[in-house]
Amino acid sequence: MIEFKLPEYDLVWNRDYSLTGNQFSVNTLDGRIKLKYERKAMKKYFNGTWKFGTAKLVHKFQKWFLHIPVTKDFSELDYTDVNNIVGIDLGINFLATAYDSQGKTTFYNGKIVKHKRGKFKVTRKQLQKKQTPSARKKLKQIGSRENRYVTDVNHQVTKALVEKYRRGTMFVLEDLTGIRSATEKVRVKNRYVSVSWAFYQFRQLLEYKAQLNGQKVIVVDPKYTSQTCPKCGHVEKANRNKELHLFKCKNCQYESNDDRVGAMNLHRKGIEHIGVVTAGV
């Protein structure tokens, strides 16, 4: 049993406590105590790039908890060090479509998400009709369950993206903040799906993970990304057939999946962006 004077105690790194890959060591009124701890989740903090701060020892629920703040310095990836550009088109059918500097396309399927969100919506409608307190309570639960599900998918896809592409990669996303507010809905095959917050969250997660990985994210003007032919540059609304998910250029007949074309155009906008910001460097 370890006893401290206060239920909360500040422990200064390397003076009051230390942590190695194997053990936690702490000064107490009875001298120094060395303890084993669950190492698995902590492993990544021992690669020499993280700093441990002043920890808080807290007594709660008849147990002692140690809160350890860790910090790490990141240098932002410089535009001149970018060695790969990946355009990412976000959508409903394919949650994310990526097009890289090698001309390779990767689709991250969103159909499961779309289906599951549709199902959530049906249940929500039924509950809304009921108007009882228990129905209202259930409604709330469904809302947060749905949000958790989307958050989980966003975590998975952004993780897959930063792991797939090397350090020095610059991801290019559409800046959707201007055109889709938090409440606006997008019409998808006779029903409306609110996608804006999910897209915004996707961007935030990708930015955060990319930075940890020596990569970066930029957002560009979404204008004409779905209507421009990536081969000849011809811009026409009729180039894209939303129903068939098909892009077919009215000028040069180039044909491809419409989400893929969106990603290709974002890739090109990324190259243009680099050209502008590094001009004169």
Task: Point out which residues bind Zn ion (CB under 5 A).
Answer: 229, 231-232, 234, 249, 251-252, 254
C-beta of 188: minimal distance to Zn ion in Å?
A: 27
Counting Cβ atoms within 10 Å, is residue 138 exposed (0-12), middle (13-18) or buried (19+)?
A: middle
> Nearer to Zn ion by C-beta: 12 or 232?
232
> Nearer to Zn ion by C-beta: 154 or 239?
239
> Nearer to Zn ion by C-beta: 77 or 266?
266
C-beta of 275: minimal distance to Zn ion in Å?
A: 22
Within the chain, strands assigned E span 8-11, 17-19, 23-28, 31-36, 51-52, 55-60, 63-67, 70-71, 84-90, 94-99, 105-109, 169-174, 186-188, 191-193, 216-220, 240-241, 246-248, 255-257
Alpha carbons 15 and 19: distance in angstroms, whole number: 11
Judged by DSSP in three states, 72 sits in: coil
C-beta of 192: minimal distance to Zn ion in Å?
A: 32
C-beta of 236: minimal distance to Zn ion in Å?
A: 9
Cβ atoms of 205 and 154 within 8 Å: the answer is yes
> Nearer to Zn ion by C-beta: 45 or 254?
254
> Nearer to Zn ion by C-beta: 213 or 239?
239
C-beta of 254: minimal distance to Zn ion in Å?
A: 5
Please state the φ and ψ torsions of residue 214, each to the nearest 5 degrees. 70, 30
DSSP 227: T
